[in-house]
Structure 1
Amino acid sequence: MKIISLNKGLRALWYPIIFGLYLCCPPAQANNRLRQNQSQWQQNQISGTITDGTNPLPGVTIAVKGQQKMVVSDFDGKFTITVSSTDILIFTYLGFKTIAVPVEGRTVINIKMLEDATALQEVRVNAGYYSVKESERTGSIAKITSKDIEKQPVSNVLAVMQGRMAGVAIVQDSGSPGGNFQIKIRGINSLRADGNDPLYIIDGVPFSSETIGFSQTSGTTPSLTNPLNSINPSEIESLEVLKDADATAIYGSRGANGVVLITTKKGKAGKTTFSANASTAVGKVTRMLDLMNTEQYLAMRRKAFTNDGYTEYPSYAYDVNGTWDSNRYTDWQKVLIGGTAEISNFQASVSGGNSSTQYLLSGNYRKEGTVIPGNFEYGKGSVHFSMNHASDDQKFKLLFSAGYDAQKNNQPGVDLTATSRLLAPNAPALYTQNGELNWENSTWTNPLADLKSEFLSRINSLNANAVLSYNFLPELQFKTNFGFTDLTNNESRTRPSTMYDPSYGVGSQYSSLNTNATSRQSWIAEPQLNWYKTMGKSKLEALVGSTFQSQRTDRLFQFGANFSSNNLIHNLASASIRTVSRSDETIYKYQAFFARVNYNWDSRYIINITGRRDGSSRFGPGRQFANFGAVGAAWLFTNEPLLNDNTVLSFGKLRASYGITGNDQIGDYQFLDTYISSGNMYQGTIGLQPSRLYNPAFGWETNKKLEIALETGFLKDRIFLTAAWYRNRSSDQLVGIPLPATTGFNSLTANLGATVQNTGLEFTLRTVNFQDADFSWTTNLNVSANRNKLVAFPGLESSTYANRYVIGESINIFRLYHFTGMNPQTGVYEFADANGDGQITYADDRNVVVDLTPKYFGGFQNQLTYKKLQLDFLFQFVKQKNFSYRPGVPGDFINQLSSVSDSWQQPGDQSPNQRYTTGTNGEVVNAYYQYSDSDAAIVDASYIRLKNISLTYDLPLQLAKEVRCKLSFQAQNLLTFTSFNNGDPELAYSSYLPPLKVYSAGIQITF
């Protein structure tokens, strides 16, 4: 209305202007000047599209310089605004350079915005219960966004973080579909293997990462029921990892090992937009072992029999006694794990809304094949919905999101990786001429028989969240977070009689079935109050809230055998033998009160104080509650007046934090007397037997964290460097204290006075190497080094842990023999006699301590953009040591590395490998296993891996401007550079399937 009134007033001034022109100028000149003035004030509609050179930018603010008029670009980056030809448009967008563009009579203005490294400091990062500007955070928070996530053809949320975050070490357990990943944030804090997992939060709702699998159903295929597989990476908007005490203390005991915050995608205002993305991929094993061929293998076996004094080959030596074809050669790695896994992925979404309500609905389906023979596959489908609503006065806001995921994983019950490495290269054919499994007259176990043992898992997961907030005053907000999760897992492992040699006369009654039915439900409610006040140069924020959480887990493990038919093997009622291996119900309740106060003076001095009082049902009476807290401070020294005119140092911040967090990752009811069913019947009644002793002194683990960090930006933040030092000390370790056998129990879970310390350095470097309208190049580097140490362990020398840990050394150590060389006369390995008693013993002579903690690790990422073409690639690197591959005694009935061909042959030989034996020479066999437990078995397992590469191109569609089409090529684990010759260095000394090398091609259409 103001603009209209102004235009009317201006038109009223035309009459005296026209009269003056008529008097002073000829009519023709007056008419020309009049037309010029009219064109300056005439209102024209301007339209255009705003992009970053590749993708459209929604939410860009377009304002008219010197006026109140403003519009925002829609989901497609399009805008429309009415201005005069002399106006100047100002384009602003967080993280990008502000652009001023004169209209100059144009009706179409298309804009390409450039990233502004300096503006990135104004981006807000999620800290859980609150958000904070990147430039003003006092804690250590690492972040990646959907821009990095969508470039990786992976299905597990942990896989997207590998090599991209300082201080976050992630290792893949297996290359099998649905396989697990291990994550360690700033080292290992707990002596318990299951006490080092971080806390996962999805849209404010805790997501339990506790295993839901069962060893009897998963078989030798590890962790195929990892709950984190339920999180679809394509639905994630951002991932933040909270690391230090300042960032994690507000989560109390749950944040002891770090916090992973997962924020899902939300709808954006604008017209309804539909997007579909389809891709197909193939996967192959990254690295195979260099094994002996038939000639090398038979030479080894024959020499072994000679060394052991055999004059003729025994009847069971089928590989060398003529039973098997000595001219036959099979590369069993190629046959059993050398196939091609086919992967397909499809995703579609629809989103839109207005300034008050926005929505997003998306669905995804992914199917993965395997590299092993057979029709095995992993399928996952998910649907995600989110809605944001705000009242017209912006006082009331509602955010709702929900995700449902269904997985089906059908895999062999046995990982064939170990078999592919051990089988003799001249072993028989897999099938007979009739196409049946070949048992070669019962001279071997056909490896394909293991594929008849199947693992089947069905997982359904629901995660829902609602956040309601109301602003009573501009400075005062009340907010409540409600969440609910529901996860069910039904898995089984079958062993039909058809997997056994028919000559054994095994009938279907020898078939067996293991089942696991696990369900887990949890709810959480978190009311909180937020207050904000600005007083001159001071800004004060305060937050108080509480948490109420409950989780219930039900498990039922059953076993059945002697089925009437293999066709009924999945029907437990058809088994003549049925037992319940385990049945339990656990309830975990958690309650907490938390608070935060943040004071900021003149954007120079910031202090952040957080505190939490936790209560957990996992501890006994009188010990259920504990207090945790932290203080963080930051000094933005580049905001000091002394540096106002500085042109080199564009940003500088020194920050520090100290605090205490706890840990209650010990499982439920560990402090109570518990009983289990004995399974034995007495006088018609099945009795109970005690399984755990009561311990009233059962308390919290505590983790004290200290950090000091420096953040600096140079040349308008085109070079940005962060360096951080930290020290974490975890004490009151909850471990099993061994008990005498006379008590009837192996151990008592209690607080041990042991202290574990982690210290480390983290470096991140971001550089804008080149940037103009058509071409840009940015680089990100992160390097982390962690040192783990056992600081204290009272009574270690007299405990059962004496042979496991050493005070002053890492808890990730191995105590080994010292290898002194091979006796050239006997051809047998020799070792140092540490205690000088004339014999080599396991307890007394392993005095060499080797730490297998990586010395450093990190990632090196580059992003290059040229017009509509974008290339991203990431190198992951790890400096580490590990055990070399040792399959068994060389000369026995198993294959070996080809390097083992160089072995001792006769007295006086100097070779790296001792004499062969078939296993009957006890001295040689014993020396082999001592060698496997010696410092000679430790090798360099460092590697540099081209972890990810992504190439995308936006097709310039001239005929359909409302449609965007993007083509992409992606690759994962593409190249590996390493001196480690024992397979894949990431899974060094592992018998599980290595990670896969994946090539993916896709297309995305948006309209």
Structure 2
Amino acid sequence: MKLIRGLMAAAVGGLIMANPVQAQGARGAISGRVIDSTSQLPMQSVTVTIEGTQRGAITRVDGGFQLADLPAGTARLRVTRIGYTPQVRDVAVVPGQTANVRFTMQSVAANLGAVVVTGYGSQRREAVTGSVATINAEEANVGVIANPTALLAGRAAGVNVTLNSGEPGAGAQIRIRGGTSISASNDPLYVIDGVPLQNNESEARGFGIGGSPALGRNPLNAINPSDIATVTVLKDAAATAIYGSRGANGVVLIETKKGRGGSATMEYETFIAGSRAANSLEFLDGNQYRAFIQSQIAKGTLPASRLTSQGNANTDWEKETQRTGYSQNHNLAFAGGNQSTTFRASLNLLDQQGVVISNGFQRLQARLNGNHEALNGRLRIGLNLSSSRIDNDYLPFENTGGFEGGVFQNNAVFNPTRPVFVIDPVTKAQQYYEIGLGRQSVRNPVALARQTIDEGNTLRTLANITSSLQIFPSLIAQLNVGTDRSNGQRNVYLPKGGSVGSEFGGLAQQAQRSLSNQTLQSLLTWSPTVGNDAEFDIVGGYEYTDFDNTDFSAQTRSFTTDAFTFNNLGAGAQPQIPQSYQEQSRLVSFFTRANVGYKNRYFVTGVLRRDGSSRFGDANKWAVFPAISGSWLISDESFGKSLPFSQLKLRVGYGLQGNQAVGPYQSLASLAPDGGARYVFGNNVFTGIVPNQNPNPLLKWEQSAQSNIAFDYGIANGRFSGSLEYYNKKTTDLLLTVPISQTGSAFVATQLQNIGAVQNRGLEFSLDARMYERAGKGLNLTSGLVLSVERNKVLNLGPADFIETGGVSGQGQSGVNAQRIIPGQPIGTFYGFEFAGFNTAGAQEFNTYTVTRDAKGKETSRVLKGKSTSPNADDKVIIGNANPTFSLGLRSNATWKGFDASWLWRAEQGRDVFNNTALVYATKANVTQDKNFLASALSSPESLTEPSQYSSRYVENGSFVRLQNVTVGYSFNLPRTARPVRLYVSGDNLLLFTPYTGYDPEVFIDAGLASRGMDYLSYPRARTFTSGFRIQF
């Protein structure tokens, strides 16, 4: 035994001593380059590993790599990159020499070959198991596009984009697979270059004149669409669960353009555009108004003095407040770098006038993206930095209104026989014509637009630093730090001599809003080599997000001069109580995702995320969101070869998502001053502080469980491709305010609780087709179609039978609601009286019913009884649905030699819109108050004294077909240079086919899901023509 142990020790020692000797004299190296088989360009970031070892490298910008100090013999190299077919090759290593090799990589065939950005990483298309839609920003960025949300319209199935108004920079409602929350936000999460953004308004709301001020501008206006490379929409739970409590409404991933190695390039693009209102509301002109009064005098319904009191003008107030809005845009971008460092810098200026006087939108933005590699490509550091200045000129118009109103309300009601200007008989100076100053139901809309100062500006900075270190060829560590900061200012001044400001002796208001979002992410990704047929990777991470928002506003009245406008609040004699607010919240997350693939045919993805949010009660601050999904490439099976598909893949998935989009402190008790709770202390009267919110330590997330099944298909070798998907999404634990029992002297009889459920089901279809390809003739035509069918249903509302929403605007409409949220019906259900025509006296009649109820008051039967001019509450029924039966987008692109053309059609069918504007202004009774009305009322048998009444009469068919954009361009190289130039012309909102009688069926007064489909005095949508060019150096 001793002899054996001695021989073994000698052998081992000999091997140990011999190894260094061999290393010194029997070592070689491998040097190589990787290129793309299609473009023949070098490929960066390709992983090259030696199988069976921990040795490896990542290709540089020039596609090159080097492996040194290799033992003699045969090394099996494995070359991989997402989106390309892996390659394996044996290379002989000769001592003292460097072997040169060249790899040509081919992308995975058909439309499965693209790289898809997913949460905290990317995958090749064929390995994706969730529901993901990718939009090419270069193709979608046509016409006047002010922000990223406009890139989505009509280009992704299941994604609905609706503008709040036609105002420049207006906010938009983005709904991915419909909305599910009644009181919390339904907006998706936006992630730019890996950093989640805040999607809150960066400027305070303005001063409402007789109603709520218009909805704010789009917070994403700070992002220049020309800097965007791709937009990826994550739709189902399998794709969004990695974002946990922020992914319930879908996720929009925005990747900006990056620099490339090689010689520096410069690109300049500019366009100019002109816009006019695409539609108008037909009100009576001066001649029609005088003729109507004369007819009523003949009938004896108006006194003769009403005619003699009219003016001699014929003023179209809508036309007087509108104009041709001109826009200009300038983009300048630089890009370049070397083998280790790349950069891209850009500068953007956008100036956009509104089609209504005295309002517009301007943006100045700078962006810098840079990447640096070190340690032979193992260490990578990236910087994404953008800073923007947004200037907004606001117009005083309202989303709700009553006695008083802004520009659009006065366009509707101001007497058309009155002039815009008059001459002062004493000073002989021209001045605006006004019926009176101060609190008035009618005001000169031109004066209101010109005299009111309402300005806003926002400074916003988005920045993140990314770093990754390849610890081993299969193990990468990442650290990302991001910030999103904005500071907004809103300044308002109503002149003391103006129609509104005179009521206050002049009014000045300043408001400031500061938003801050800090993010820290650390990730570890392991992608081991598990054989030729299998692939596996897993990512684990930690994320910390800090939210901090502050608001401050101050207002002063009664000025001696207008000279200071809003710049000297101390000059006002009547300072108001300042308002200030701060909210903070934190979100801590741990997450992991594993991807497994076998034979490039079977794929499974598992996700698990645990979130902790300070926004919820002590008992429910933490929640877990799991998801599981898989895919099967059926066309690669032996039996799949006989199917009529060149490509067929089945995807299934299920997961949980959360929604934490409620304000902080909702689970806590809160106090507030109450003017009704006053008390005397000494000789002074003080305002008391009383409870205004009950605590709920059990408050938790809204939670959605979503299942998804889909088929991705390709026909005729990928000439036709697309997907067909079905989803079922059930949201429970809705955040609703419900009545609770109170004892003693409690002030609040409600509490925010998790009660109720909503279900969304839908079908999505997409088709991409290469319609015509003739390389020899230079003619190519491609088309794309997206179709969405979504059904929403309220499952229960806890103790409530229904919730009334959608307040109706107009005089006499206080307390009237247009919609009800009812179990068994969709959110967005219009509920009211059924209009049944007019009686012989010109009064409105409505259907009435005999209703039977059980002992608990529940309705058991309803029978049509007849008609009445005075219906009661039992006569209200469902009269419409704001949700479309289906939505459609159709796009095409054509190229011929140097020419290119593209067009986009959008359509929604089966949706209803409540025309609140017609309710208020399509009544002849306005003339009794010396107000105008819509010309359509002339043909109505309605009597002069008939009041407005909300009913099905004003719930209109809002279906539409819209030619969204047409663009035609021509590309060529400048003579004697290789500098490419593209000239183009474009038209937006060129055609609209709709039975709706308002301005536009796609502009709504409320961004909330619970009041969708309501239109009241919306800012008109523009028709725009653009011409521009782009040149590269």
- If the TM-score is normalised by the length of the shorter chain, which range does it land in? 0.7 to 0.9
- Matches for 1:165-176 after TM superposition, within 5 Å: 165-176=156-167
User: Alignment partner of 2:646: what SS?
Assistant: strand
Tell me, in whole angstroms, the C-alpha distance in 1 between the residues paired with 2:234 and 2:128: 12
What is the letter of the counterpart of residue 942 of structure 1? S
Selected match of 1:957 from 971, 974, 978: 974
- Matches for 1:431-830 after TM superposition, within 5 Å: 431-432=422-423, 436-439=430-433, 442=436, 445-451=443-449, 452-500=451-499, 506=502, 510-536=505-531, 537-570=533-566, 571-643=568-640, 645-646=641-642, 648-677=644-673, 688-738=689-739, 745=747, 748-773=750-775, 774-797=778-801, 804-823=820-839, 825-830=840-845
Tell me, in whole angstroms, the C-alpha distance in 2 between the residues paired with 1:568 and 1:760: 56
Return 5+ residue gaps in structure 2 as ranges: 1-35, 45-58, 64-79, 86-105, 398-405, 806-816, 852-864, 1005-1014
User: Alignment partner of 2:423: what SS?
Assistant: coil
Tell me, in whole angstroms, the C-alpha distance in 2 between the residues paired with 1:73 and 1:283: 45
Tell me, in whole angstroms, the C-alpha distance in 2 between the residues paired with 1:590 and 1:199: 14
Please give the root-mean-square deviation of Cα atoms over the aligned residues, in Å: 3.2
Q: Does structure 1 conserve the Cα–Cα contact (< 8 Å) formed by 2:740 and 2:751?
A: no
Residue matched to 1:150: 141
Distance 1:234 1:772, change over 3 A: same
The CA deviation at 1:428 is 2.2
Residue matched to 2:91: none
The CA deviation at 1:957 is 1.9
Distance 1:747 1:560, change over 3 A: farther
Q: Does structure 1 conserve the Cα–Cα contact (< 8 Å) formed by 2:730 and 2:760?
A: yes
- Matches for 1:222-371 after TM superposition, within 5 Å: 222-304=214-296, 309-310=300-301, 312-313=303-304, 317=306, 320-325=307-312, 328-337=313-322, 339-371=323-355
Tell me, in whole angstroms, the C-alpha distance in 1 between the residues paired with 2:60 and 2:468: 25
Residue matched to 1:997: 1023
1:907-953 deviation per Cα after TM superposition (whole angstroms, max 9, x unaligned)? xxxxxxx22x1xxx4xx21xx41xx322x322222111111122221
Tell me, in whole angstroms, the C-alpha distance in 1 between the residues paired with 2:529 and 2:1003: 54
The CA deviation at 1:303 is 4.4
Tell me, in whole angstroms, the C-alpha distance in 2 between the residues paired with 1:797 and 1:553: 36
Distance 1:768 1:96, change over 3 A: farther
Residue matched to 1:24: none
Residue matched to 2:92: none
What is the letter of the counterpart of residue 187 of structure 2? D
Distance 1:74 1:302, change over 3 A: farther
Residue matched to 1:401: 384
Residue matched to 1:16: none
Tell me, in whole angstroms, the C-alpha distance in 1 between the residues paired with 2:217 and 2:592: 36
User: Alignment partner of 2:873: what SS?
Assistant: coil
Tell me, in whole angstroms, the C-alpha distance in 1 between the residues paired with 2:432 and 2:37: 62
Give yes or no for the alignment of 1:134 onto 2:134: no
Q: Does structure 1 conserve the Cα–Cα contact (< 8 Å) formed by 2:478 and 2:522?
A: yes
Distance 1:840 1:533, change over 3 A: farther
Give yes or no for the alignment of 1:164 onto 2:155: yes
Distance 1:151 1:990, change over 3 A: same
Selected match of 2:951 from 911, 933, 958: 933
What is the letter of the counterpart of residue 854 of structure 1? P
What is the letter of the counterpart of residue 573 of structure 2? S
User: Alignment partner of 1:585: what SS?
Assistant: strand
The CA deviation at 1:729 is 0.9
User: Alignment partner of 2:1020: what SS?
Assistant: coil
Residue matched to 2:963: 946
The CA deviation at 1:221 is 5.2
The CA deviation at 1:776 is 0.8
Tell me, in whole angstroms, the C-alpha distance in 2 between the residues paired with 1:843 and 1:965: 66
What is the letter of the counterpart of residue 756 of structure 1? V
The CA deviation at 1:964 is 2.0
Residue matched to 2:913: 882
Report the TM-score when normalising by structure 2. Answer: 0.80
The CA deviation at 1:242 is 0.7
Give the stretch that moved more between structures: 463-472 or 560-569.
Answer: 560-569
Distance 1:682 1:159, change over 3 A: farther
The CA deviation at 1:958 is 2.4
Tell me, in whole angstroms, the C-alpha distance in 2 between the residues paired with 1:681 and 1:352: 71
Give the stretch that moved more between structures: 790-799 or 437-446.
Answer: 437-446
What is the letter of the counterpart of residue 986 of structure 1? E
Distance 1:155 1:700, change over 3 A: same
What is the letter of the counterpart of residue 933 of structure 1? S
The CA deviation at 1:435 is 6.0
Selected match of 1:387 from 370, 373, 382: 370
Tell me, in whole angstroms, the C-alpha distance in 1 between the residues paired with 2:695 and 2:145: 45
Distance 1:968 1:563, change over 3 A: same
Selected match of 1:201 from 175, 191, 200: 191
Residue matched to 1:865: 895
Q: How many residues align?
A: 879
Distance 1:955 1:145, change over 3 A: same
Distance 1:291 1:1004, change over 3 A: same
Q: Does structure 1 conserve the Cα–Cα contact (< 8 Å) formed by 2:205 and 2:213?
A: no
Distance 1:603 1:305, change over 3 A: farther
User: Alignment partner of 1:794: what SS?
Assistant: coil
What is the letter of the counterpart of residue 416 of structure 1? V
Tell me, in whole angstroms, the C-alpha distance in 2 between the residues paired with 1:240 and 1:149: 13
The CA deviation at 1:201 is 0.8
Tell me, in whole angstroms, the C-alpha distance in 1 between the residues paired with 2:680 and 2:581: 22
Distance 1:425 1:668, change over 3 A: same
The CA deviation at 1:304 is 4.7
Tell me, in whole angstroms, the C-alpha distance in 1 between the residues paired with 2:802 and 2:488: 43
Tell me, in whole angstroms, the C-alpha distance in 1 between the residues paired with 2:523 and 2:142: 37
Give yes or no for the alignment of 1:834 onto 2:852: no
Q: Does structure 1 conserve the Cα–Cα contact (< 8 Å) formed by 2:345 and 2:367?
A: yes
Tell me, in whole angstroms, the C-alpha distance in 2 between the residues paired with 1:592 and 1:670: 21
User: Alignment partner of 2:321: what SS?
Assistant: helix
User: Alignment partner of 1:765: what SS?
Assistant: strand
Q: Does structure 1 conserve the Cα–Cα contact (< 8 Å) formed by 2:546 and 2:586?
A: yes
Distance 1:747 1:129, change over 3 A: farther
User: Alignment partner of 1:158: what SS?
Assistant: helix
Tell me, in whole angstroms, the C-alpha distance in 2 between the residues paired with 1:532 and 1:842: 69
What is the letter of the counterpart of residue 783 of structure 1? L
Tell me, in whole angstroms, the C-alpha distance in 2 between the residues paired with 1:298 and 1:116: 73
Q: Does structure 2 conserve the Cα–Cα contact (< 8 Å) formed by 1:60 and 1:93?
A: no
Give yes or no for the alignment of 1:852 onto 2:882: yes
1:322-378 deviation per Cα after TM superposition (whole angstroms, max 9, x unaligned)? 4312xx3222222212x101101111111101222110111101111222334x442
Distance 1:435 1:711, change over 3 A: farther
Tell me, in whole angstroms, the C-alpha distance in 1 between the residues paired with 2:964 and 2:84: 28
Q: Does structure 2 conserve the Cα–Cα contact (< 8 Å) formed by 1:736 and 1:747?
A: no
Q: Does structure 2 conserve the Cα–Cα contact (< 8 Å) formed by 1:59 and 1:93?
A: no
Tell me, in whole angstroms, the C-alpha distance in 1 between the residues paired with 2:83 and 2:904: 22
1:91-111 deviation per Cα after TM superposition (whole angstroms, max 9, x unaligned)? x999999xxxxxxxxxxxxxx
1:853-900 deviation per Cα after TM superposition (whole angstroms, max 9, x unaligned)? 111112100000111211111011111222343333224233333332
